Amino acid sequence: MYNPMELMICCAARLLENGSTVAVGTGAPCAAAMLAQRTKAPELVTFYEAGGVAPLLPTMPISVGDSRTFYRAVMATSMADVMETCQRGMMDYTFLGGAQIDPFGNLNSTMIGKDYKKPKVRLPGSGGANDLASFCWRILVLTNHDRRRFVEKVDFLTTPGYLTGPGAREAAGLPPGTGPYRVITDLAIMGYHETTKRMEVLNLHPGITLEQVQANTGFVIAAREPLLTTAPPSEAELRILRDEVDPLRYIIGRG
């Protein structure tokens, strides 16, 4: 058996090709990158915001500045160099998250409410998310799936997805061909329609229906045909995830 967090991490790891580059944060994205390196992508090049490039993580770090993110790294550099790598078009993927996401993949990690000066909830803000979303080729999001997160319009646009739809990123001066790619939740895997740039369901996780996904989404969401079913984690993936990547259950214990 496996829990939803383990399934999400396995799904994310499967998306990372060998030899690709990815900007990684802590938590589930870090677990996904570690799992990918130990299975299908041994030459995955990971970047950490504080400056670690291509480390071989011995154990799960607790922050992007943790000394383990520099362990046996190709470079121990700076945030400026990591962001410059993105600006030069050399970052294939970035993992991002937020309190809200809308149909076009825009993210809010700043505030909940309508009044910026007096929000219902004040959130941490962008950090480097805006820069990463603006210049990396493909944005990956891992999040739980509920109507409070998947909203018709974010309360505050912290991080750009496809903004208002087709052509909007390019009109804002962002590099053509960049933008949201996949959203992985405890219910499904979503992508974006090639023409409308709206989110759509690609895969349903085992035992989940499209009706459940719609009920937990605060906007109308279509499904791509043929609608696929996610392959469950293999015994090998679960063994590596549990025994090597996160043996103390810091991340997978949340499932």
Q: Which letter, b or e, does each residue of 181-192 get, where b requires 16 or more Cβ atoms within 10 Å of its Cβ?
A: bbbbbbbbbbbb
Q: 112, exposed or middle or buried, with CB in 10 Å at 0-12, 13-18, 19+?
A: middle
Catalytic residue, chosen from 17, 49, 170, 194, is: 49
| Beta carbons within 10 angstroms of residue 7's beta carbon | 22
Q: Are strands 222-229 and 199-204 parallel, antiparallel or unpaired?
A: parallel
SS3 94: strand
Does the active-site annotation cover 194? no
SS3 253: helix
For 125, 127, 145, 227, 238, the CA distances from 159, given in Å and listed in that order, are 9, 10, 19, 29, 32
Q: Which residues does residue 108 pair with via DSSP β-bridges, in sequence order?
A: 100
C-alpha to C-alpha distance for 81 and 104, rounded to whole angstroms: 29
C-alpha to C-alpha distance for 214 and 88, rounded to whole angstroms: 38
* Residues labelled as active-site residues: 49
